[in-house]
Structure formats: C-alpha cells, structure tokens
Amino acid sequence: MDLVQVGEEDFDPAEEYAHLRTSGSGTGAIATFTGLVRDSGDLSGVTGLYLEHYPGMTEQVITGLIHQARERWDLHRVRIIHRVGSLRLTDQIVFVGVSSAHRSDAFAACQFLMDTLKTSVPFWKKELTDSGEHWVEQKASDRQSGERWEE
Amino acid sequence: MATDTITVRYFARLREELGTDSEVLALDAEQRTAGDLLNTLAERGGPWRQLAGDQPVMIAVNQAMARPHTRVGPGDEVAFFPPVTGG
C-alpha cells in the first residue's frame, strides 16, 4: 500500500524501509531518498527552515505523481513523507521510498518522484538565519531536473 | 442561489507581501480566466503590482495546477503563489 504523509511529525526511515521490504517475495530492490536541513542554501549560516504548503492540494499532487510513476515503471510500494512547519538544522525534511522487482525501476522512480516533488508540489521553504529570513527561490537546475522527465 | 463569488488564496512570499492569505471576491463578468483575475488584482497597486510583473506567479484552480488562460467560474478556489521550493 502506498503512503502519502504531509505534516509536522518526524519519521523513522527504518520503519519506512520495513514497510517497503514487506511488499512481497517478488520485491528485489528498494531505493530510498532522505532530504535534510543543511546549513547553507540561498543564504549561509542557516539555522533552520520554515516549510509552508497548500493543504489538500499538496496530497493530491503527490498522489498524482505516484500515479505517473506507476505508469512508467513497475513499482510495488511507494512511500512519500514531507514535513512542514518549523525545522531545525539536520532535521529530516522529506522521504521517498520505492520498492520494485528490479533496481533500474526503483532508482528511476525514486529520482523522478524527488525531482518532480521539487518543481510541482505546493511546498515553500523559508530559510532562517541569525540575521534574518528569506523565502528560497526556485532554482533553474531544479526546474531542469523536473522537466527532463517530460517526454 | 449562491452569489457568484470565488475564493482567492495566497501562499508563502506572496501571502506575506500582500498581507492576506485569502479573500472572497465577487466574480466580474470580465474575469473569465485566472490571468484576467491576476490583472484585476494587480490594479490595486503597491505589492499587488507584482502579480502582473516580471516575477513568475504560479496558479492553481480548484487545487490543480493551472495557467493564465484557465477559466474560472462561480464557486472556484483560485490560488496564486511563487514557484514551489519543496523537497
């Protein structure tokens, strides 16, 4: 069963991995990605992030991305978690985990889901520093990473 | 019969700069698309001008990504926001 979870709560990657691992004896590959709050982005000296989203739409768009991934690759389970609200340095932000029969499908779907999550799901990050705060700008490189899947 | 209104929502930097997260507007006969609505809002001046400026504004209609030519009608929820930056 797929999971889409958006909220303030933290998550345990080991628990998510365990769910992916029990997706049947035909599962031969699991790919996961975890994103963390780091100390530099648009600004240096980042002490934390504030993450805003569009409740309702966020979950619908993620569910749509999983649907697209399932049309392109043979996937067993997909689990996506994205946190919102106030996060501190080194906190976990996002988890994408995919199980499949083969590694190529698992790797590709995991990367597709992360790339498109960054460019098409209504989340916004604000960087917090000791000297002020700043809404992160969308990067051309992220746009290109999202667009390369459109064909 | 409900009056012809739409709900407009703003997020992130736009929400902060415009000083509001949502409003209910009477739908004018001239506002047939999300782009028409953006232009009307930009006429308020001040920070609202950016809705029709050089900075990209993303649009959602009824919680699905939309474009300036997407039609809007009574009861719709239209949202305007900066390019997304999750992940």
Neighboring chain A residues of B16 at a CB cutoff of 8 Å: 135
The number of angstroms, rounded, from the C-alpha of A142 to the middle of its chain's C-alpha atoms is 13
What are the residues facing B60 on neighbouring strands?
Answer: B65, B79
Q: What is the average pLDDT value for chain B, to the nearest integer?
A: 93
Confidence of residue B30 (pLDDT cuts 50, 70, 90): confident
Neighbours of B71 (CB within 10 A): 11
Helix (H) or strand (E) segment spanning residue B15: helix B12-18
pLDDT at position B2 is 55
Whether residue B1 has pLDDT greater than 50: no
Neighboring chain A residues of B60 at a CB cutoff of 8 Å: 54, 57, 122
Q: What is the pLDDT of residues A121-143, one digit of tens each?
A: 999 999 999 999 999 999 999 99
Q: What is the ipTM of this complex?
A: 0.93
In this structure, which topology does domain A3-147 adopt according to CATH? Aldehyde Oxidoreductase; domain 3 (3.90.1170)
Whether A38 and A114 have beta carbons less than 8 Å apart is answered as no
Q: What is the pLDDT of residues B63-82, one digit of tens each?
A: 999 999 999 999 999 999 99
- CATH number 1.20.1250.20 given to B5-81: no
pLDDT at position B31 is 78
Three-state DSSP class for residue A81: strand
pLDDT at position B29 is 77
Whether residue B3 has pLDDT greater than 80: no
Domain ranges of chain A: 3-147
Q: How far is it, in rounded angstroms, from Cα B23 to Cα B8? A: 5
Residue indicated by tokens 């000083």: B19
Task: Decide if B12 and A61 are in contact by the 8 Å CB cutoff.
Answer: no
Task: Decide if A138 and B12 are in contact by the 8 Å CB cutoff.
Answer: no
Q: What is the pLDDT of residues A53-77, one digit of tens each?
A: 999 999 999 999 999 999 999 999 9
Q: How far is it, in rounded angstroms, from Cα A112 to Cα A132? A: 33
Q: In whole angstroms, how large is the CA radius of gyration of chain B? A: 12
Whether B71 and B29 have beta carbons less than 8 Å apart is answered as no
Task: Decide if A82 and B60 are in contact by the 8 Å CB cutoff.
Answer: no
Residue scoring higher pLDDT (B31 or A72): A72
Domain ranges of chain B: 5-81
Whether B36 and B29 have beta carbons less than 8 Å apart is answered as no
